[in-house]
Structures are given as structure tokens and as C-alpha cells.
Amino acid sequence: MTSAIFVLVAAAIFGLGVHGLLVSAHIMRKLLALNLMLSALFLLLIVVPASIDGHPDPVPQALVLTGIVIAVSTTAFALALMVRLFRKQGHATIHPDLDPALLGRKHGRRTAPEAEGERAP
């Protein structure tokens, strides 16, 4: 019963995290959301195996420990990346048009040089 609550809570947090990760514009918010998700994950990892045979299992705890290390390093790295991005473009959001060339055709402009030959009906 308690484990069910934990699972539900974890799921809720995870959902919040996902939403934040995807929808927030600011990278900082995204990273916070990411950490939220990680917390939910760790919670789940601890809770779910335990609920199987009643007593704590060392393995998931070891896993979570490792996970936390990874989470910390990932977050740190992402923050560093964010800072560099911020320095480059003056704001800490992901540039919506990553590749202007990809969207070059959006305006109906023909970019390929072979266009003349190719389009002849």
C-alpha cells in the first residue's frame, strides 16, 4: 500500500519533470525538471524492488547511488553547456532554428543549384 503511494508520487513527479523538460524555454528550468525526473526515478528504483520481497535489497541502492553520481555529473555538464550557450547568444534558451539552412526551403527559395534542370516538367 505504501509502496503504491510511493509509486504514484514518483509517477507524478516524473510527469511534472517531463512536462518541464519539454515545455520550459529556459534551459535552467529544463535542468531543474530533469533533476525532478531523476528524483522520481530514484524513488521508484528504491521502492519497487523492495515491495517484492519485503526487505531492502542492496542492489537498487547501489544502482541509485551510481545514478546519483551520473545525475550530478550530467547536471553539472549541462549547466556548463548552458553557460557557454548563454555567453554565445545572450540568452539561455535553445535556439529554435538550429539550422537555418535546413529551413531555407521554408520560404520557397530554391537553394539547390540543380533546381533549374530538375524542375523542368
Partner 1 sequence: MSALAVNLLPVLAPLVAAALLAFRGTPRALAMTVAPWLPPLLALPLLLGNSEEVAGLPFVLLDLRLGADPVAAPLTVLCAVAWGLAGWFAATRVHRDRVLFWSGWLVSLAGISLALLAQDVAGFYAGYATLSLASWLLIIHARSDEAWRAGRVYLVMALLGEMAAFAGIAAIVSQAGNVALSELAGSIDLGSGWSWLILAGFGVKMGIVPLHLWLPLAHPVAPVPASAILSGVIVKAGLLGWLRLVPPGSDGADTVGPVLLLLGIGTAFAGVLLGLAQRRIKVVLAYSTISQMGLVLSVYAAMLMAPERAAALLPWLGVMVLHHGLNKASLFLACGCAPGRSRLRGLLVAIPALAISAAPLTTGMLAKTGLKAAFHDAGLAQGWTLVLSLTSTATALLLWHFWRLVRTERGYKTAHPAWLAMVLAGLVVPWAWAVGHGLELHLAAGLWPATWPLAIAALVVGLKSALMPGWTLGLPAGDLVVWLERFFGAANMRVARVAEASLGSLPNLYPVHVRMTRALLWTERKITSLPVAGFLILALGGLLWLVTLLF
Partner 2 sequence: MSFDKLLLALVFIPLGTALVAVMLPPARRRWAVLLGSLAWPCFLVPLSIAVAREQTLTLVFGGWSPPLGIGWRLDALALVVLWVHALVGIAALPGAWQRFKPEETESGPFWSLWLILATGVNLATLAADLFNLYVALELTTLAAVALIATDDGIAALSAAMRYLLLAVLGSLMYVLGVGLVYAQTGSLAMHQPGLVELNNVALVLMLTGLMVKAAIFPLHVWLPHAYSNAPGPVAAIMSAVVGKVALVALWRIWFETAVDPPTLLTNLLGLIGAGAIVYGALAAYLQPRLKMVIAYSSISQFGFLLLLLPLACQQAFQGAGFHLLAHGLAKAAMFLAAANIVTVLGSDSIRHLPGLDKRMPLEAFTLALAGVTLIGLPPSGGFTGKWMLLSAAWETGGWFWLVLIVLSGLMSAAYVFRILALTCFHPARRAVHHLHPKPPAITSLAALMLALLAVVIGLYPHPVLDLLGSGVLMDGGVRLQSGVPGAGP
Partner 3 sequence: MIEPWLAQVLPPAVVLVSTLAAIVIFIAGEERQRLRIWVNLVAATLKLILVVWIGLSVLAGNEFLFRFELLPGLELILHADALSILFASLSAVLWLVTTVYAIAYLEHSPNRARFFGFFSLCVSATMGIAMAGNLLTLFIFYELLTLTTWPLVVHNGTPEALAAGRSYLRYTLAGGVVLLTALVWLYGLAGNAVFTPGGFLAPLAAEHATELRIIFAMLIAGFGVKAGLVPLHGWLPKAMVAPAPVSALLHAVAVVKAGAFGIIRTVEDVYGLELVAGLGMRLPLIAVACWTIIIGSLLALREHHLKRRLAYSTVSQVSYIVLGIAVGGLLATSGGMVHLVHQGLMKITLFFCAGIFGLLLGVSKIDQLDGLGRRMPWVSVAFTVAALGMIGLPPIVGFISKWYLASGALAVGMPAVLAVVITSALLNAAYFLPLVGRLWLGPPGSVAAARIEIGRLPRLALVCSALATAFLTVALGLMAAHPLSPLNWVIKIAEGYAP
- Pick from 22, 60, 17, 48: nearest CA to 35: 17
Cβ nearer to partner 1, comparing 90 with 96 = 96
Q: What are phi and psi of 95, to 5 degrees?
A: -60, 125
Q: Smallest distance, Å, CB 117 to partner 3?
A: 3
Binding flag, residue 80, partner 1 (CB under 8 A)? no
Q: What are phi and psi of 26, to 5 degrees?
A: -70, 135
Binding flag, residue 96, partner 1 (CB under 8 A)? yes
Cβ nearer to partner 3, comparing 53 with 114 = 114
DSSP letter string, 61-112: HHHHHHHHHHHHHHHHHHHHHHHHHHHHHSSSB--S-S-TTGGGGGGT----
Burial class of residue 85, CB neighbours in 10 A (0-12, 13-18, 19+)? middle
Per CB under 8 A, contacts with partner 2 among 26-85 are 27, 30, 34, 37-38, 41, 44-45, 48-49, 51-52, 57-60, 62-63, 66-67, 70, 73-74, 77-78, 81-82, 84-85
Tell me which residues touch partner 2 (CB under 8 A).
Answer: 18, 21, 27, 30, 34, 37-38, 41, 44-45, 48-49, 51-52, 57-60, 62-63, 66-67, 70, 73-74, 77-78, 81-82, 84-85, 88-89, 94-95, 98-99, 101-102, 104-105, 111-114
